[in-house]
């Protein structure tokens, strides 16, 4: 900044005012300073400036699988809110590995981010506790905290699964298979619970032989669905707990050429043009990010030491039908 000031023949304070768009600076002086900035290739050290005035101007976002479109939409929602408040987002991907999550959280904390939004990988969240993070604000997204109080934004996992499975039952299906992500995950457990309760409400009991849990991606879901649909007395419909598992089931149905109705959680691109009867529990993934981002901003603005009760927000779901005339 001193070099810019010397070249423009002004004070360092004037350079600072120009870079802040201070209206008290004359147009001629502004042009002279900006010309010097361009000539010298000057870039203000935003991180140092933020730390000096308070805060880094950055927030962290830790997700489990960027290959899943859900997390990219969530990230866009967070970024939208962060941008409105002049903040930048540092993004990390854990691959559902707790050790990697711990490392990312420690790295973000060492960079003195103003707060973090985390989609937790495991059941233990001790490394995310306020005492460990020295009071840094944190918001959980998609999965709730365990063993601690913290803000969180969730999807109505149970209600969406119950409603989508219920539509299959209303369509006359009594043998409905289940393709689920790991039961240790909150979303996997809640969506399985919704699937089961929908059966109970209709006076039915799911056949344990038609249930496959612990599936991780499109490939594992496809293999599980093919094996399931080849068995005697195979299901006439399948419920899948996320969009990747639904896509695996679609591949299996196409491969086998069998008339199986499909229901799943998470909408996805081109679901409406596949020509298959699809029942989807849909929701606004961007809204999860927006709500989590605003919760974090609230915490940052309140400041450390100010009491603010832990909050929980639930994003609603709606059932969408594709490839069928049924409502």
Q: In this predicted model, what pLDDT tens digit does every residue of 162-176 receive, in sequence order?
A: 999 999 999 999 999
Cβ-count burial of 135 within 10 angstroms (0-12 exposed, 13-18 middle, 19+ buried)?
Answer: exposed
53: pLDDT strictly greater than 80 = no
Backbone angles phi, psi at 164, to 5 degrees: -65, -45
Q: In this predicted model, what pLDDT tens digit does every residue of 152-164 receive, in sequence order?
A: 999 999 999 999 9
Domains in the chain with CATH codes = 2-44 (1.10.260.40), 56-155+285-315 (3.40.50.2300), 157-282 (3.40.50.2300)
131: pLDDT strictly greater than 60 = yes
pLDDT for position 13 = 83
Per-residue buried b or exposed e for 215-227, using 16+ beta carbons within 10 Å of the residue's own CB: bebbebbbebbbe
52: pLDDT strictly greater than 70 = no
Confidence class of residue 49 from pLDDT cuts 50, 70 and 90? very low
Per-residue buried b or exposed e for 101-133, using 16+ beta carbons within 10 Å of the residue's own CB: bbebbeebbeeebbbbbbbbbbeebebbeeeeb
83: pLDDT strictly greater than 90 = yes
Confidence class of residue 11 from pLDDT cuts 50, 70 and 90? confident
Q: Residue 258's closest CA among 165, 162, 175? A: 175
- In this prediction the pTM is 0.78
| Residues of the chain above pLDDT 70, percent | 94
């Amino acid at each position: 900044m001193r070099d810019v000031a010397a070249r423009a023949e002004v004070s360092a304070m004037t350079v600072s005012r120009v870079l802040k768009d201070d209206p008290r600076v004359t147009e001629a002086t502004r042009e002279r300073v900006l010309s010097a900035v361009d000539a010298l290739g000057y870039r203000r050290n935003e991180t140092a400036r933020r730390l000096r005035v308070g805060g880094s101007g950055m927030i962290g976002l830790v997700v489990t699988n960027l290959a899943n479109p859900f997390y990219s939409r969530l990230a866009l929602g967070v970024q939208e809110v962060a941008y409105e408040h002049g903040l930048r987002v540092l993004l990390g991907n854990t691959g559902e590995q707790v050790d990697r999550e711990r490392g990312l959280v420690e790295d973000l904390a060492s960079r003195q981010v103003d707060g973090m939004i985390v989609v937790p990988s495991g059941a233990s969240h001790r490394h995310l506790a306020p005492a460990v993070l020295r009071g840094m604000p944190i918001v959980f997204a998609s999965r709730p905290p365990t063993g601690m109080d913290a803000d969180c934004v969730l999807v109505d996992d149970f209600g969406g699964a119950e409603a989508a499975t219920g539509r299959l039952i209303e369509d006359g299906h009594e043998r409905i298979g289940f393709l689920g992500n790991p039961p240790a995950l909150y979303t996997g457990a809640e969506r399985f619970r919704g699937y089961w309760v929908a059966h109970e409400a209709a006076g039915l009991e799911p056949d344990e032989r038609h249930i496959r849990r612990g599936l991780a991606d499109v490939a594992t879901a496809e293999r599980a669905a093919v094996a399931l649909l080849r068995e005697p007395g195979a299901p006439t419909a399948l419920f899948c707990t996320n969009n990747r598992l639904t896509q695996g089931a679609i591949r299996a149905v196409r491969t086998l050429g069998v008339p199986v109705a499909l229901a799943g959680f998470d909408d996805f691109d081109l679901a409406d043009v596949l020509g298959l009867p699809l029942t989807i529990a849909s929701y606004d993934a961007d809204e999860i990010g927006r709500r989590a981002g605003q919760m974090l901003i609230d915490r940052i603005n309140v400041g450390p030491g100010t009491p603010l009760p832990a909050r929980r927000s639930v994003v609603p779901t709606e059932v969408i039908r594709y490839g069928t005339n049924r409502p």
